[in-house]
Structure 1
Amino acid sequence: MCNRINQVSAAFGKLRSRVFFNDNLKLDTKMAVYTAVRTSTLLYSAETWTAYREHIKQLEAFHISSLQKIFKLSWKDKIPHTEILQRAGTTTIETMLAKWQLRRTRHTIRLSDDRLPRQILYGQLPQGHRKQGAPMKRYKDQIKTTLKRCQIDHQALEGKASDRPPWRSTCKEVLSHLEEPIFNERREDNDAIIQQFNNKTTLE
């Protein structure tokens, strides 16, 4: 993960003066270039990831930091992350991952039983044992977590995913609902940081 962030950071630095800090370019152009760099390098094949919370936090921090540089903002401006995302017309990394994973899950479900991606999604080991401690997160665990956050019943997943138009509308609706708790959590964190900063300033 750190390697990918370093690669995107290097690409961002090469384009900083010519694109992102160029006042002659429109914001839509800058965001199009940033999205191309981010998607092709940082989030390449992200729909197959088994991401932990620490990975999401690293990606979100880099995502927000890059947008702040594009808008020429700093923490002193006290602009909430939610407002930065709305200005940029983009979403959180977590929502992007959920969207791509739902799209790939539908594709995997529609494959025949002899295809390897479907076998990985539905397969179970007939024997064996694991080491003591918490088990490592599997890809199917990642999908179950995504479905739970999107409030989609995994038992009725195959029936919903079999028809493309209803599935697309369902994904669009649940992803919009997924943004709300994330934004609310961010607002609470930002309010707490601002309150802490104000209290520190008052004491000084």
Structure 2
Amino acid sequence: MTVAQHQHLPALTIGQQDMEYVENFKYLQSNISNTGDVEKDVQTRIGKAAGVYQRLRNIWLSKSITTATKLHLYMSVDIPTATYACETWTKTASITNMLDVFYRWCLRSILKISWRDHITDEEMM
């Protein structure tokens, strides 16, 4: 918001301190926007989850760990990392698609499904 846009908004004072109007801020590891746009927050969460996924690469590649155990680990670590604070998100087709793309990428990797296998997204679900 520009200064001119702020002029028509009521002043917010807590105690003796005037509060500043901002376009976005971080709260509990989430990016909060004055427009309600959460795509940046979703992208940040997916990036963090991708980082966690990469740090567990040795587990995903391990032949001594069962696929079931890998999937349990994925569901208990990666999914919560990607969806932390999702209750603050406005559900849109774009956000749903971003999350679905990340989930399918992880699952294809864990299940060792190559693009050459010609397995569609619908078949995976």
> Corresponding residue for 1:8?
49
> Corresponding residue for 2:106?
66
Instruction: Flag structure 1 segments of 5+ consecutive residues without an equivalent.
Output: 86-204
TM-score, normalised on structure 1? 0.39
Deviation at 1:62, TM superposition (A): 0.6
**Which of 62, 71, 75 lines up with 1:31 in the alignment?**
71
Contact 2:53 2:78 in 1 (8 A): no
CA distance in 2, matches of 1:22, 1:3: 28
Segment of structure 1 superposing worse, 25-34 or 73-82: 73-82
Q: How does 1:133-148 map to 2 (within 5 A)?
A: none
Cα deviations across residues 90-143 of structure 1 (Å, max 9, x unaligned)? xxxxxxxxxxxxxxxxxxxxxxxxxxxxxxxxxxxxxxxxxxxxxxxxxxxxxx
Contact 2:104 2:121 in 1 (8 A): yes
**Matched positions, count:** 84
**Which of 117, 121, 124 lines up with 1:77 in the alignment?**
117
Query: Could you tell me the percent identity over the aligned residues?
Result: 29
CA distance in 2, matches of 1:53, 1:23: 37
Distance 1:62 1:39, change over 3 A: closer
Deviation at 1:48, TM superposition (A): 3.8
The root-mean-square deviation of aligned C-alpha atoms, in Å, is 1.4
User: In proportion to residue count, which structure has more strand?
Assistant: 2
TM-score, normalised on structure 2? 0.61
> Corresponding residue for 1:199?
none
Which residue type is aligned with residue 111 of structure 2?
Answer: F
Which residue type is aligned with residue 72 of structure 2?
Answer: A
Moved over 4 A (4+): none
